Chains A and B, each alone.
Chain A
Amino acid sequence: MWRWLIPLSVVPVLALLAYGFRVNPHEIPSPLVGRPAAPFVVRAFDGTEVSLAGLRGRVVVLNFWASWCYPACYEEAPALERAWRTYRDRGVAVVGVAIQDKPEASRKFIADFSLSFSNAPDPDGKISVDYGVYGVPETFFIDRAGRIRLKQTGGVTDELFRAEIEKLLGEPA
């Protein structure tokens, strides 16, 4: 009678492996959502200094990208620029950080997409590690109180911007 336990014991293993189809091993949930965003001070490609502290009170969209990140970064760059132009006067800041990239390639990317928001390099990788970045593109939505509210892995779309920014703008600072 107990002998039938042997074939039966295979079933939970199969079930576990089948569960594997439902999860994506490449998507790591971030422990930073809901926590205060790590401060940073960077010198943008155009020479200006940008700090998270200086943006306090505004909704901040922090976007990590690289010029070799094709096609996702190339697809989302226009959306980022559109979001910046739409919301810059309503208290929203868009900051781009180029990681693991060569400065000339980054500048070309900025010029190609006519990006007018601040973009800065992260040569030591400290900012990307501070934000738990493991791939590009990744975008963080930081509310007016300086807390990370959403981490988007992969490209951002106009709809996502609209939904998230409107929600965060509606909250008190």
Chain B
Amino acid sequence: MRPGSVIVLVVVGLAAVIGASAATVSAESPSAAKGTVDEETVHRVAAQLRCVVCQTLSVLDSPSEMAAQMRGIIRERLGAGQTPDEIVQYFVDKYGEWILLAPREHGFNLLVWAAPVVAVLVGLAIVALLLRRWTRPRAEPVATIDPKLRERVRRELESPP
């Protein structure tokens, strides 16, 4: 196989892997049932918010009393008909962007979301450059044979034993 097509295959394959996994991470949970407060939805909202009295735990994970109270507030607001996004925005209004465990994907924050992509692309580019350099065909030195020597060898080979 030609190196070019191989690279394309590898990159497409890896891209498929990455694309598939990135798409599926966000689309995990089922949607909430109408009319009742789905615990799954409470969990989903709580997982996005930072527990304010612990350090890096989410409101969902934290065993602290404050987090339990916050989960109660989420549950109550969902029951009153608010959407998950509205509830998240409520907390952001009160605490600032800091309360979101993942930075909102706009403006300056795009830097941190772009970092992994950029890192992989730069890495792949460097690898591609290296591989190209390493597989460049090298001119093999062609040995030139002294004609007298060649004649002598021929005579030796053809002479009767």
What's the Cα separation between A133 and B53 when bound, in Å? 10
Are A125 and B73 within 8 A (Cβ)?
yes
Select which of A30, A125, A133 is within 8 A of B72 by beta carbon.
Answer: A125
Are A31 and B73 within 8 A (Cβ)?
no
Given A28-B96, A31-B95, A135-B53 in contact, is the A124-B73 Cβ separation under 8 Å? yes
Hey, which chain A residues are within 8 Å of B53, CB to CB? 134-135
Of residues 119 through 140 on chain A, the ones whose CB sits less than 8 Å from some CB of chain B are: 124-126, 128-135
| Proximity bits, A134-169, B CB within 8 Å = 1, else 0 | 110000000000000000000000000000000000
What's the Cα separation between A30 and B70 when bound, in Å? 18
Query: Is the C-beta of A32 less than 8 angstroms from some C-beta in chain B?
Result: yes
Select which of B66, B91, B93, B95 is within 8 A of A100 by beta carbon.
Answer: B66
Are A100 and B69 within 8 A (Cβ)?
yes
What's the Cα separation between A45 and B72 when bound, in Å? 23
Please count how many residues in chain A sit with their CB below 8 Å of the partner chain's CB atoms. Answer: 17
Number of A-B contacts (CB under 8 A): 43
What's the Cα separation between A131 and B53 when bound, in Å? 15
Given A124-B73, A135-B53 in contact, is the A129-B94 Cβ separation under 8 Å? yes
Query: Is the C-beta of B98 less than 8 angstroms from some C-beta in chain A?
Result: yes
Hey, which chain A residues are within 8 Å of B95, CB to CB? 28, 30-31, 132, 134
What's the Cα separation between A157 and B98 when bound, in Å? 28
Hey, which chain B residues are within 8 Å of A20, CB to CB? none
What's the Cα separation between A164 and B65 when bound, in Å? 32
Query: Is the C-beta of A47 less than 8 angstroms from some C-beta in chain B?
Result: no
Query: Is the C-beta of B52 less than 8 angstroms from some C-beta in chain A?
Result: yes
Report 27 cross-chain contacts, Cβ distance below 8 Å, ordered by A residue. Answer: A28-B98, A29-B96, A31-B95, A31-B96, A100-B66, A124-B69, A125-B65, A125-B66, A125-B70, A125-B72, A125-B73, A126-B69, A126-B73, A128-B66, A128-B69, A129-B69, A129-B70, A129-B91, A129-B94, A130-B94, A132-B94, A132-B95, A132-B96, A133-B52, A134-B52, A134-B95, A135-B53
- A interface vs B, CB < 8 Å? 28-32, 100, 124-126, 128-135
Given contacts A100-B66, A124-B72, A134-B53, 15 further A-B contacts (CB under 8 A): A28-B98, A29-B96, A31-B94, A31-B95, A31-B96, A32-B94, A124-B69, A125-B65, A125-B70, A125-B73, A129-B70, A129-B73, A129-B91, A132-B96, A135-B53
